[in-house]
Chain A
Amino acid sequence: MILRPRPPLVALAEPLPRLRRALSAALEARGCSVLEVQDGVELLEYLGQASTGDEDWPQLLVASEVMPGLGGLDVLSELQEAGAARPPTILLAARAARVRRAARALGVAVVLDKPPDPASMGWWVQRLVAPEPVRLTIDGW
């Protein structure tokens, strides 16, 4: 029987498939488990299911500012209006400086230029994703 910490779950919302795959690989290389969605509506739907306990609540959101349907800030607004918790969030934006104020108001931890510098994103992921010493999985059970 091996006890090991459960990898932190990151919800990644990015509409561009190639960028999404690259970001996902980078997050997995940092030891994260990644839930990929391609737009904000899918992200909100996942969070809705997670809020009932039917899915795991992510420890971190990495979301694009602009997505079909709902953008990253729209999703955070919906969470706020529903009175739901907002996971720490890294927002990816083509012109990061333009959205920083709105992002800060919605509790975004950091806005990174899109595509993000891997080292910078890795640093923020390490900082925002706390290890989970209590949640354990048991191999073979």
Chain B
Amino acid sequence: MLGLQFIGVAAPRPRRPRVLVAEDHPLLRRAIRVALERDGYDVLEAGNGLELVDRLQETMVAGEPAPDLVLSDQGLPLATGLEVLGRLREAQWPLPFVLMLDGPVDGRLEADAYRLGARAVLAKPFGLEQLRATVRAALALPAEEVTA
């Protein structure tokens, strides 16, 4: 359904880490974008699961660097975060992925996320520090080391 195909182009890592934020609530998406941009990340946005897949394909087709991290809500319209993560893994694309869950965390969804290789599961509502720490950890960046 999602038609995701990893064509194996190894893009050079950008100077500023790129995070693709997939969240269907526009204000929360905007808030995450603003917070991450202030911390020195490049941020791409998607408002539903198919848009998330489209963004990934667009970067490949355009020969742009792929995102370094996907930060995706589970409850996205059209395709859930886990469905997209499953497709990424089927396409053997080891893109770091953080799944945001509406709290309290559903243990089954959390287990599925980790089984599919998610780097972290972030329960909503989360604070800025928690968001920053999770993104840094998922990108394996040292604390406070993102270059603006």
- Which residues of A are in contact with B by a Cβ distance under 8 Å? 41-42, 44-45, 47-49, 51-52, 54-55, 69-70, 78-79, 81-84
Q: Is the CB of B30 within 8 A of A78?
A: yes
Q: Does B3 contact A (CB under 8 A)?
A: no
The listed residue (A42, A69, A70, A79) touching B27 by CB distance below 8 A is A79
Which 6 pairs show the lowest CB-CB distances between chains A and B? A48-B31, A48-B28, A54-B125, A49-B125, A51-B27, A84-B27
Q: Is the CB of B25 within 8 A of A42?
A: no
A-B contact pairs, 14 of them (CB 8 A): A41-B38, A42-B128, A44-B27, A47-B27, A48-B28, A48-B29, A48-B32, A49-B124, A51-B25, A54-B124, A54-B125, A78-B30, A81-B30, A82-B27
Q: Does B35 contact A (CB under 8 A)?
A: yes
The listed residue (B25, B26, B32, B103) touching A45 by CB distance below 8 A is B32
Q: Is the CB of B124 within 8 A of A45?
A: no
Q: Is the CB of B31 within 8 A of A45?
A: yes
User: For chain B residues 97-142, which have a beta carbon within 8 Å of chain A?
Assistant: 102-103, 124-128, 131
The listed residue (B30, B38, B102, B103) touching A48 by CB distance below 8 A is B30
The listed residue (B25, B128, B131) touching A52 by CB distance below 8 A is B25
* Bound-complex Cα distance A49 to B31 (A): 9
* Bound-complex Cα distance A70 to B34 (A): 9
Least CB distance, A87 to chain B, in whole angstroms: 12
Q: Is the CB of B124 within 8 A of A44?
A: no
Q: Which residues of A contact B27 (CB under 8 A)?
A: 44, 47-48, 51, 78-79, 82, 84
Q: Is the CB of B34 within 8 A of A55?
A: no
* Bound-complex Cα distance A24 to B66 (A): 45
Q: Which residues of A contact B31 (CB under 8 A)?
A: 41, 44-45, 47-49, 78
18 extra interface residue pairs, beta carbon distance < 8 Å, beyond A45-B131, A48-B27: A44-B30, A45-B35, A47-B31, A48-B29, A48-B30, A48-B31, A49-B31, A49-B125, A51-B28, A52-B125, A54-B102, A54-B103, A54-B124, A70-B38, A78-B27, A82-B27, A82-B29, A84-B27
